[in-house]
Amino acid sequence: MMKKEQYFNLETIDEESRILLREIDSFRKKHKILFNPFKSALLVLDMQRYFLNPDSHAFIPSAIAIIPKVKPLVEEFRFKNLPVIFTRHLNSNSDAGLMKTWWRELITEDNPESEIIPDLRYNDVKIIRKHQYDAFYQTSLEEILREKNVQQLVVTGVMTHLCVESTIRSAFIRGFKVFLPVDATATYSRMFHLSSLINLSHGFAIPVLTKEIIELLKEEHGNGL
């Protein structure tokens, strides 16, 4: 049976993220893609109370530690007037499909736990609803990105091995270059997190630290990572 663990906390997340990057360093060095802030958008996946409330059965222990990483990314993108898009995972009996069978429950809109956490609520940020792991599946996400001429995505949120990984794979096949901050995503265990980082950095995304993206945004020009 899968056991949850807190592999990130507020005190250790910086060092642990550097360790994770070292473990996938060969992939990180292999793919040199220029980060272009002016063609990028920030995607924040499912930072809902359902996953971040310690009283919820779906609580992700390490997710609390990524809030101080996600928040400055959101604020820097907003400051630069660059697109920021949140997702809110919601299900009904008509759209859940295997999600209901697999997890044996639905995250419904009338459930207060389905709301984005207060620390990450912004009046001017787009929120799209999704009902599967993949944020592109039967949503307006791709249309929004194309309208804004977005070519690159910075993907954050939860869970690394489910919605984050599925969405990044989907972004890749649609031609978006993806940057994955290893310290701004979280899931139930270090094993799940690292496994996704290995898979994604090998074939789909550039692993980075949050501070690297923020520094490049502040410089107002892209640079190799």
* Residue 6 within a domain: no
Evaluate the CA torsion angle 56, 103, 189, 126 in order and state its sign: negative
Best CA proximity match to 42, nearest among 174, 137, 184, 169: 184
Burial 108-142 (b: 16+ CB within 10 A, else e): eeeeeebebbeebeeeebeeebbbbbbbbeebebb
* Residue 189 within a domain: yes
**Is the distance from CB of 7 to CB of 190 less than 8 angstroms?**
yes
Domain count for the chain, please give it.
Answer: 1
Domain that holds residue 200: 13-219
In angstroms, the CA 175 to CA 164 distance is 17
* Residue 5 within a domain: no
Strand duo 152-158 + 206-208: pairing = unpaired
Identify the burial level of 100 via C-beta atoms within 10 angstroms of its C-beta, where 0-12 means exposed, 13-18 middle and 19 or more buried: middle
Tokens found for residue 176: 């978006």
* Residue 7 within a domain: no
76: domain CATH number?
3.40.50.850
Q: What is the pLDDT of residues 164-218, one digit of tens each?
A: 999 999 999 999 999 999 999 999 999 999 999 999 999 999 999 999 999 999 8
Q: What is the pLDDT of residues 54-105, one digit of tens each?
A: 999 999 999 999 999 999 999 999 999 999 999 999 998 889 899 888 888 8
Question: What is this structure's pTM?
Answer: 0.95
* Residue 224 within a domain: no
